[in-house]
């Protein structure tokens, strides 16, 4: 018991935090301060890549599409794309 006569319950819930406004992180602050802007240019490489269709490892110059790590079926070489 509390000294003023009120009973404190152990299982009382805390109010949910207000998540209406997203908070900026320290990384967001430095990105804005340094003027960092995300690139819109596709990422094309000449490194060896695996074709999503024939599963052969070929040079990156044989691929017409940019690197798509989340979608390996889009990584098709020029021989399989025809």
For the stretch 13-69, pLDDT in tens is 777 776 677 778 899 999 999 998 877 776 777 788 888 888 899 998 888 877 777
Count of beta carbons in the 10 Å neighbourhood of residue 49: 20
Q: State pLDDT tens for residues 3-15.
A: 566 666 676 777 7
Token reading at 80: 């399989």
The strand pairing partners of 50, in sequence order, are 57
Of all helices (H) and strands (E), which one includes residue 49? strand 49-50
Torsion of the alpha carbons at 69, 71, 76 and 81, rounded to the nearest 10 = -150
Q: pTM to 2 decimals?
A: 0.43
């Amino acid at each position: 018991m509390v000294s003023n006569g009120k009973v404190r319950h152990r299982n009382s819930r805390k109010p949910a935090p207000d998540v209406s406004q997203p908070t900026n992180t320290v990384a967001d602050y430095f990105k804005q301060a340094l003027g960092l802007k995300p690139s819109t240019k596709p990422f094309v490489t000449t490194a060896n890549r695996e074709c999503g269709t024939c599963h052969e490892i070929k040079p990156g110059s044989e691929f017409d599409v940019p690197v798509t790590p989340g979608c390996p079926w889009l990584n098709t070489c020029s021989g399989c794309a025809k």
